[in-house]
Amino acid sequence: MTNRDLLASADPATFADEATQETEDQAGLDKGKRRDVQRRLTGLGFDIKVNGRFDKSTRAVITRWQAARGYPKTGFLNTLQHQALLAESVSTARASLGSSDESDADRPARRRGGGGVHHHRSGPGGLIGGVVGGLFGRR
């Protein structure tokens, strides 16, 4: 789905209404939903730490997402923008599943955090390797 398709299917009021802390509070984004927003933004190519807090870096990513979609750039979400983000990330996930040979059911479950050994690389090579590995599900 292209940005044009997304824009054509979105409610025009979504683009006119500015989001504020108040509208975001009205959307009922608890910590779990904030994590979901962060995961979806990351899935759309906006890399962000998934921690359930809308800190300065998350606000910057939300602002970039809004700018790329033609929304007023506030760094806050309103209910319509939140719904648009959910719809966009679902559409993107379906498109990528359609172009992939394996479905989510075929992939082994991945857990974040918890136990296990984490290998940290240093230097620019480690950063690039980590990014590329992250794209392909390797650590």
Whether residue 101 has pLDDT greater than 60: no
4 confidence band (pLDDT: 50, 70, 90): very low
CA distance 131 to 7: 30
Query: What is the reported pLDDT for 132?
Result: 55
62 contacts: CB under 8 Å, gap ≥ 6: 37, 41, 54, 75, 76, 77
Q: Mean of the pLDDT values across residues 120-134? A: 56
Q: Kindly state whether residue 113 falls inside one of the protein's structural domains.
A: no
Look at the chain and report how many structural domains it folds into. 1
What residue numbers bound the domain in which 30 lies?
3-98
Specify the higher pLDDT residue, 133 or 89: 89
Q: Kindly state whether residue 105 falls inside one of the protein's structural domains.
A: no
Q: Kindly state whether residue 47 falls inside one of the protein's structural domains.
A: yes
Q: Kindly state whether residue 103 falls inside one of the protein's structural domains.
A: no
Whether residue 133 has pLDDT greater than 70: no
129 contacts: CB under 8 Å, gap ≥ 6: 121
Provide the H-helix boundaries in the chain. Answer: 3-9, 12-16, 21-26, 31-43, 56-69, 79-98, 123-135
